[in-house]
Structure 1
């Protein structure tokens, strides 16, 4: 087989694979995403008064005392730089970060801090917190908003999602959705 024939065969194969893997397959995946779960495929955007205010899939920085706070982020909630710190539990930098978060915890919640209140998620953009962390913030939120603490606690329970498929993961509370429900309550 001549070199020219081999190059032409390789070029044809590259074009065919580019068409299949670069055009047809992505179009098929996009089409299935739109047909099966268009909300999630489009980023699970949440709008209020016609304006997109966030995504239920990405955590946001919240410092307002009248709202529930998310778990810490190593990326300052910047989607373009998501990722964990990759620090070992024995790392001095990790110990310092956890000590700082433990001190800050006293300003936003009560009781013993939960693991998700002291550690960032692997992506640094986790939109969920544990129901325990949310309940630990109830007193502060109720005091800051003037809403009965029992009603705020009930709101946390109403916005707690169980394990996926009944056995995967842990119960969780989406912070953005909880804060929107709290806003609706006010």
Structure 2
């Protein structure tokens, strides 16, 4: 006959459960996973998938890294990787995305007094649309293609108007009385002169144009931009080491010219470093930028 008080039996049962779960989850499970990670074919990935050149670690196949010069500009002899929002960039300890969505189209303009003084306005913020527009121009210029994009101005900011005036029952401005290009700070000339018969104004610093209806203007950019989507957006983790084969092929001409080799030779390397869909149906084909650039250095060293 059990003579232990009920409260003591409950505490002993909890203690037994704690000990069992500690052994299973805190000891047995980690040991099993560690042993699995040591199996042939898996041990390299478990150790971080490091890549070595001449006995020196130069990166990981799983983590992107930039190929930039001392001024932060792309090195023309290397393929470029996607932009990053992880920490200060490509930081595996701070994997993160910008968390900005499709409706993020209005910039917070910087204080012109700080800009004139060569200082940074910490309150200023670039919208996702303007970020995409600026990157498209940047990589279009780098690789010698048209960097224009729908809903972007020729200067690489979001082509967005604040249309102010009375609204109808659907919330649409029925008769504009004022139109402002919200992402173009004065004294800039707006990307279009007028909208629905009203002169378009530049955006004055400190003014709130939120009362207006925000209208993105598509413009005459091609429906399929020359610069692919992965070149103008960051990955969800911020450390993706891969780019699309489309973007790799776009960069091939520039890389080949910088290294003084035929472009078809560079394109063959792209094909050799392109992986297919996971399990044959998940995701999309991708090119690992680090391993591709290493192969370039080995087979076509840069002479600059």
1:68 corresponds to 2:79: yes
What is the aligned partner in structure 2 of residue 38 from structure 1?
43
Please show how residues 80-159 of structure 1 align to structure 2 within 5 Å.
80-92=93-105, 93-111=127-145, 112-159=226-273
Matched position secondary structure for 1:47 = strand
| Contact kept in structure 2, 1:110 and 1:136, CA below 8 Å | no
Number of equivalent positions? 186
Per-residue CA deviations over 1:93-124 (Å, capped at 9, x if unaligned) read: 21121122112212433441101001111101
1:10 corresponds to 2:21: no
TM normalised by structure 1 equals 0.94
Structure 1 moving runs of 4+ over 4 Å: none
RMSD: 1.4
1:56 corresponds to 2:64: no
Q: CA deviation at 1:5?
A: 2.4
What is the aligned partner in structure 1 of residue 90 from structure 2?
77
* CA distance in 1 between partners of 2:144 and 2:290 (Å): 21
What is the aligned partner in structure 2 of residue 21 from structure 1?
25
* CA distance in 2 between partners of 1:165 and 1:70 (Å): 24
When structure 1 is superposed on structure 2, of 35-44 and 52-61 the one drifting more is: 35-44
Greater fraction strand:
2
TM normalised by structure 2 equals 0.59
| Contact kept in structure 2, 1:102 and 1:118, CA below 8 Å | yes
* CA distance in 2 between partners of 1:150 and 1:178 (Å): 14
Q: Where in structure 2 are there 5+ consecutive unaligned residues?
A: 69-74, 106-126, 146-225
Q: Where in structure 1 are there 5+ consecutive unaligned residues?
A: none
Per-residue CA deviations over 1:81-101 (Å, capped at 9, x if unaligned) read: 111111111212211211221
Higher Cα radius of gyration? 2
Matched position secondary structure for 2:35 = helix
* CA distance in 2 between partners of 1:133 and 1:26 (Å): 40
When structure 1 is superposed on structure 2, of 21-30 and 160-169 the one drifting more is: 160-169
